[in-house]
């Protein structure tokens, strides 16, 4: 079997691709960054695709010799992207599959996807689901609608594991409905079974775990998985969660809050009846892959990462603004003279250094990759220059140069916590 996995760089896609490669199946991994895919999925052929722009004819050569296609592509929190990726891009892919004679298509949708759903994400998924289901004979399909998917590398897992690692556990109270999480390993097992199910195939499956639970119960399970004892719970009022979500500064976006409030559950019996597979309880599934010290460390660092970047950005903005608008011009000229600059060169150097500082601060706030490394390079340069012209600063009472060591360490931490996109 030759399987093409669209969105193979995503959470579900890369788990499915890794399993299929390990089983000796021919896998083509499609995504926006094929070079990165080839590094992350050795043994798979990596090709480029872009559901925001690809048309049906763009898939013709990519689908040559492919027996099955799994569409794992998806995004969240981008209203403008839903129509292009979830609907238009997916429909173009499905039409291309029918034209190329691909016999089997698996569509990863979402539990709750419906034309009248409150969430734009769910509505966009439903439009593609319905198009695939209406294709009729000639193409076998399975529309898989997962609930909350838990596992290393998933955004939902990162969110709830971060909450689990806090000294005080926040309880969303009435702000959320029940969820029915399924582990990514069990979801992949379900997909593998559907890839080998006899044709003709025409099913919609709600991929859920065995037990509905509150998000508070899920956080408690993840806390035990991290090896932490129970702690005090504090109920967070819905209005506060909603206010933070509107500002876009919290862990739950506005759309995510609406989806949590609606709940995310379904009966697991149809899944078992159709596939003969029974997902295990989420606590048991997590126990198959015990948490490491690194899992706990990352969970505790996650809420600190944006604060780190903001603090560093403030340092760089101050470093650029203070010489321009606060420090007396005579003082600036005197310092630059010690470096050997005079005349018009002093003004040029002053503005160049100040604007470089401000640029690094802006890059940190915009989360541009490499911003922290650029800051390290510039801070090191400043430190070496000051060490050369004013070594006494190392022994000064307030330690102006010694503090650079702490800033450099924080910059390294900010760089290590950068998230790759694409």
Task: Judge whether 219 lies within some domain.
Answer: no
Residue 383 tokens, joined? 């430190």
Cα atoms in the 13 Å half-sphere on the side-chain side of 191: 31
- By the 8 A CB rule, do 233 and 200 touch? no
Which of 273-282, 329-338, 339-348 shows the highest mean pLDDT? 273-282
CA 211 remoteness from chain centre: 26
For 117, residues 6+ apart whose C-beta sits below 8 A from its C-beta are 123, 126
Task: Judge whether 164 lies within some domain.
Answer: no
User: Parallel, antiparallel, or unpaired for β 104-108 and 149-150?
Assistant: unpaired
Q: Domain boundary residue among 121, 146, 171?
A: 146
DSSP annotation string for 200-215:
S-EEEEEE--S--B-H
Interatomic CA distance for residues 153 and 251, integer angstroms: 16
Task: Judge whether 7 lies within some domain.
Answer: yes
Region 206-225: mean pLDDT is: 94
Nearest to 356 by CA among 303, 412, 317, 402: 317
CATH number at residue 56: 3.40.50.720
Residue 14 tokens, joined? 């890369």
Torsion over CA: 405, 407, 413, 415 (sign): negative
Region 370-385: mean pLDDT is: 94
Residue 304: the pLDDT is: 83
pLDDT digits (tens, 9 = 90+) for 40-92: 999 999 999 999 999 999 999 999 999 999 999 998 777 778 999 999 999 99
Task: Judge whether 118 lies within some domain.
Answer: yes
Nearest to 94 by CA among 104, 83, 80: 104
Residue 356 tokens, joined? 């470089």
- Residue 228, CA distances (Å) to 153, 167, 210, 222, 360 in order: 20, 10, 24, 9, 38
Q: What percent of the chain has pLDDT over 70?
A: 91
For 272, residues 6+ apart whose C-beta sits below 8 A from its C-beta are 278
Higher pLDDT: 128 or 153? It is: 128
Task: Judge whether 271 lies within some domain.
Answer: no
pTM of the model: 0.84
Q: Residue 329 is part of which domain span?
A: 306-416
Q: Is 339 helix (H, G, I), strand (E, B) or coil?
A: coil
- By the 8 A CB rule, do 8 and 29 touch? yes
Q: Domain boundary residue among 146, 169, 184?
A: 146
pLDDT digits (tens, 9 = 90+) for 3-44: 999 999 999 999 999 999 999 999 999 999 999 999 999 999
- By the 8 A CB rule, do 140 and 201 touch? yes
Interatomic CA distance for residues 214 and 169, integer angstroms: 14
Task: Judge whether 252 lies within some domain.
Answer: no
Task: Judge whether 386 lies within some domain.
Answer: yes
Task: Judge whether 381 lies within some domain.
Answer: yes
Q: Domain boundary residue among 98, 114, 146?
A: 146
Residue 380: the pLDDT is: 94
For 406, residues 6+ apart whose C-beta sits below 8 A from its C-beta are none
Residue 258: the pLDDT is: 56
Counting the structural domains of the chain, the total is 2
Q: What percent of the chain has pLDDT over 90?
A: 68
């Amino acid at each position: 079997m030759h399987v093409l996995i669209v969105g193979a760089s995503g959470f579900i896609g890369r788990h499915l691709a890794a399993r299929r490669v390990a089983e000796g199946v021919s896998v083509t991994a499609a995504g926006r960054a094929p070079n990165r895919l080839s590094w992350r999925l050795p043994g798979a052929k990596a090709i480029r695709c872009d559901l925001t722009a690809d048309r049906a004819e763009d898939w013709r050569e990519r689908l040559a010799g492919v027996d099955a296609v799994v569409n794992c592509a998806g995004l969240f929190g981008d209203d403008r992207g839903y129509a292009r990726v979830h609907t238009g891009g997916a429909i173009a892919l499905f039409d291309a599959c029918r034209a190329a004679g691909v016999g089997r298509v698996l569509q990863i949708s979402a539990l709750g996807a419906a034309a009248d759903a409150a969430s734009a994400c769910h509505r966009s998924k439903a439009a593609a689901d319905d198009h695939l289901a209406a294709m009729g004979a000639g193409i076998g399909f399975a529309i898989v609608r997962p609930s909350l998917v838990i596992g290393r590398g998933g955004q939902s897992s990162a969110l709830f594991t971060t909450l689990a690692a806090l000294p005080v556990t926040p309880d969303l109270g009435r702000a959320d409905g029940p969820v029915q999480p399924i582990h990514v390993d069990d979801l992949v097992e379900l997909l593998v079974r559907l890839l080998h199910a006899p044709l003709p195939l025409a099913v919609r499956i709600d991929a859920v775990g065995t037990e509905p639970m509150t998000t508070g119960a899920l956080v408690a399970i993840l806390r035990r998985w991290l090896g932490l004892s129970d702690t005090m719970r504090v109920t967070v009022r819905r209005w506060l969660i909603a206010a933070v979500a509107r500002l876009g500064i919290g862990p739950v976006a506005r759309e995510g809050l609406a989806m949590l409030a609606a709940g995310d559950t379904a009966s697991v019996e149809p899944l078992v009846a159709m596939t003969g597979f029974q997902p295990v309880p989420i606590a048991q599934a997590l126990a198959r892959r015990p948490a490491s010290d690194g899992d706990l460390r990352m969970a505790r660092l996650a809420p600190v990462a944006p604060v780190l970047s903001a603090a560093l950005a403030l340092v760089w903005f101050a470093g650029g603004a203070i010489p321009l608008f606060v420090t007396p011009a005579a003082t600036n000229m005197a310092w630059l003279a010690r470096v050997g600059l005079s005349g018009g060169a002093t003004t040029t150097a002053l503005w160049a250094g100040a604007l470089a500082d401000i640029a690094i601060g802006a890059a940190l706030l915009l989360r541009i990759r490499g911003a922290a490394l650029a800051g390290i390079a510039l801070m090191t340069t400043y430190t070496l220059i000051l060490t050369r012209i004013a070594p006494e600063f190392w022994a000064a009472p307030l330690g102006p140069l010694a503090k650079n060591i702490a800033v450099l360490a924080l910059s390294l931490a900010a760089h290590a916590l950068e998230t790759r996109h694409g």
